[in-house]
């Protein structure tokens, strides 16, 4: 199978070829590795990959709709036995995972063939993927621009055709942000839908979840089917759906009551081209029979209080991770091992006390209740995924050396203000690549969120939108199948 053929298919399409014995998983892995060699030098999305034999590629692996498909895992949150897990940080350079995490075991059981690791910013606390350890990851649509973060390597790899889908994580938008910048579908599942265990539990007080990015809605749905469900000792467990998620993609969503916002809670103004793109999506939704109304979601607290709560929870959690890694590696916690923003967050988190963390959890509860109440009035929230187009490489962290942990958190959240509230509330949300910038042609993602455990509703809507305004034939200038 040549690269032109390989890149024409989504993951389910490739798995169907394997099941029909029209191609072997070994051939698919070889095609993926050829794709890495072709485009990765231009985008730096894959930091390590290994041969088919080492990946365990066999056509008989797994029985699900993704069996035999090449796959990449993010260098964060998920451990793969015998492979490095460095969290994008010099502090963790060279660390090797002793065992599979539960999610990795489920990826294996699904028959996915994991062939390598993708880049991430240090400890994922950034919405661009530019780290001192792994270098700059570039956007396949415009190499001088950011690919977003923190799942920027995963998104760049999928957008450039290396693999049809890849593992990604999301604690403040890290699935949806890079999906929005690279023209992909990115679904953040409900809190408790996918296990972070056993080494991790709730990740940033329940904000962090895992799934992936893909080029088709059905691929993300099939991935969620393969990995959803709790494990022993889970702090949060969300009940399994009545039907498979992939079966929802073709179902009629009915008439949905949709509330929309075009400007974020931060008080900033959204780029006019993105506002126009959002209104284009509104017109499409109305044509499809949905009821769409302007309706700002109340967070229950001020934006400043929202950011302060996140800063406390994020930075205090980072302290424990950083101290554990320093103890494991024998390395110092200083500028030789941590980037300026991370070191500032470590120092800020070290100064938080138990009462400030408990107060942050009270604020989290207020936000969760307010968002839950909003979804009693509306089925879906529509916003831009991001308020601005991707920043030029090298500009995002300017001045970070002069920021403290609260200021860095404010910087990160101001760059991507629409996504974090859905993590705090634990509700599902997705970025859908419906629009493009009229001048640059760059993708513009549109975010949809729904009430707790309503991925089924989102997937029905996403399938309807994908059929009405297909994006599968859009290709970036850096494309493995060119």
User: 231-276, pLDDT tens digit by residue?
Assistant: 889 998 899 999 999 999 999 999 999 999 999 999 999 999 999 9
pTM (global) more than 0.95: yes
pLDDT of residue 397: 97
**Given the residues 145, 146, 150, 195, the one annotated as active site:** 150
Mean residue pLDDT across the chain: 96
For the chain, percent of residues with pLDDT exceeding 90: 95
CA pair distance 185, 176, nearest whole angstrom: 8
Could you tell me which CATH class the domain 3-468 is placed in? Answer: alpha beta
**CA atoms of 282 and 206, how far apart (whole Å):** 31
Terminal-to-terminal C-alpha distance of the chain: 14
- Can you give the length of the chain in residues? 482
Give me the pLDDT at residue 95, please. 98
- For the stretch 157-192, pLDDT in tens is 999 999 999 999 999 999 999 999 999 999 999 999
Can you tell me the distance from the alpha carbon of 482 to that of 354, in angstroms, rounded to the nearest whole number?
A: 55
Residue among 25, 101, 146, 174 flagged as catalytic: 174
Active site residue 131: no
CA distance 462 to 383: 14
From CA 145, how far away is CA 226, in angstroms rounded? 33
Residue located via tokens 């070994």: 26
Give the three-class secondary structure for 143: strand
Q: What is the pLDDT of residue 317?
A: 97
Read off the pLDDT of each residue in 133-137 and give the average, rounded to a whole number: 98
Distance CA 333, CA 419 (A): 31
What does the pLDDT read at residue 102? 96
pLDDT value of position 65 = 85
204-229, pLDDT tens digit by residue? 999 999 999 999 999 999 999 999 99
Structure tokens at 120: 């991430």
Q: pLDDT at position 62, please?
A: 54
Task: Summarize pLDDT for 307-333 with one digit per residue, the tens.
Answer: 999 999 999 999 999 999 999 999 999
pLDDT value at position 41? 98
Is the pLDDT reported for residue 58 higher than 70? no
Task: Tell me the pLDDT band of 59, cut-offs 50, 70 and 90.
Answer: very low
Active site residue 21: no
CA dist list (Å): 41 to 44, 148, 344, 480: 6, 18, 32, 12
What are the pLDDT digits (tens) for 425-457? 999 999 999 999 999 999 999 999 999 999 999
Is the pLDDT at 414 greater than 80? The verdict is: yes
**Segment 246-255, tens digit of pLDDT:** 999 999 999 9
Exposure b/e, 294-322, CB count within 10 A at least 16 = b: ebebebbbebeebbbbbbbbbbbbbbebb
Asked if 66 and 108 touch (Cβ cutoff 8 Å), the reply is no
Residue 197 backbone phi and psi in degrees, to 5: -80, 175
| Rounded (5°) CA angle 124-139-400 | 45
**pLDDT surpassing 60 at residue 150:** yes
Let me know if 216 is a catalytic residue.
no
Query: What does the pLDDT read at residue 387?
Result: 98
pLDDT of residue 51: 80
* 398 Cβ neighbours under 8 A, 6+ residues apart: none
């Amino acid at each position: 199978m040549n690269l032109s053929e390989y890149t024409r298919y989504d993951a389910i399409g490739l798995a169907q070829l394997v099941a029909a014995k029209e191609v072997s998983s070994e051939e698919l892995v070889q095609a993926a590795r050829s794709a890495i060699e072709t485009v990765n030098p231009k985008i730096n999305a894959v930091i390590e990959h290994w041969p088919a034999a080492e990946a365990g590629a066999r056509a008989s692996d797994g029985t699900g709709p993704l069996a035999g498909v090449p796959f990449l895992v993010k260098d964060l949150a998920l451990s793969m036995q015998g492979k490095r897990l460095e969290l994008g940080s010099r502090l963790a350079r060279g660390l090797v995972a002793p065992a599979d995490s539960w999610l990795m075991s489920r990826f294996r059981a699904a028959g996915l063939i994991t062939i390598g690791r993708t880049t991430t910013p240090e400890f994922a606390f950034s919405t661009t993927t530019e780290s001192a350890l792994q270098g700059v990851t570039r956007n396949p649509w415009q190499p001088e621009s950011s690919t977003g973060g923190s799942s920027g390597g995963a998104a760049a790899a999928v957008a450039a055709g290396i693999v049809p889908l890849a593992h990604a994580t999301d604690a403040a938008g890290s699935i949806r942000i890079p999906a929005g910048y690279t023209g992909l579908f990115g679904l953040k599942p409900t809190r408790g839908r996918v296990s972070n265990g056993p080494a991790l539990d709730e990740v940033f007080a329940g904000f962090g979840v895992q799934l992936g990015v893909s080029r088709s809605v059905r691929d993300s749905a099939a991935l969620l089917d393969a990995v959803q469900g709790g494990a022993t000792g889970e702090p949060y467990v969300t009940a399994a759906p009545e039907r498979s998620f992939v079966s929802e993609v073709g179902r009629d969503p009915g008439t949905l009551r949709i509330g929309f916002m075009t400007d974020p809670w931060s008080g900033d103004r959204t780029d006019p081209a993105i506002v126009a793109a959002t209104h284009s999506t509104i017109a499409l939704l109305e044509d499809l029979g949905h009821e769409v109304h302007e309706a700002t979601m109340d967070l229950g607290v001020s934006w400043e209080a929202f950011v302060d709560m996140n800063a406390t929870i994020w930075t205090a959690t980072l302290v424990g991770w950083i101290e554990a890694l320093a103890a494991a590696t024998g390395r110092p916690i200083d500028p030789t091992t941590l980037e300026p923003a991370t070191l500032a967050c470590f120092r800020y988190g070290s100064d938080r006390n138990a009462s400030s963390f408990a107060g942050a959890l009270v604020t989290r509860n207020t936000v969760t209740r307010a968002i839950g109440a909003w979804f009693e009035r509306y089925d879906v929230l529509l916003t831009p995924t991001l308020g601005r187009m991707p920043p030029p490489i090298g500009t995002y962290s300017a001045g970070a050396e002069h920021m403290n942990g609260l200021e860095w958190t404010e910087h990160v959240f101001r760059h991507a203000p629409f996504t974090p509230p859905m993590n705090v509330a634990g509700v599902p949300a997705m970025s859908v690549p419906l629009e493009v910038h009229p001048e640059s042609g760059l993708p513009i993602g549109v975010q949809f969120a729904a009430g707790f455990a309503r991925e089924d509703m989102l997937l029905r809507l996403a399938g309807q939108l994908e059929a009405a305004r297909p994006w599968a034939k859009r290709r970036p200038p850096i494309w493995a199948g060119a």
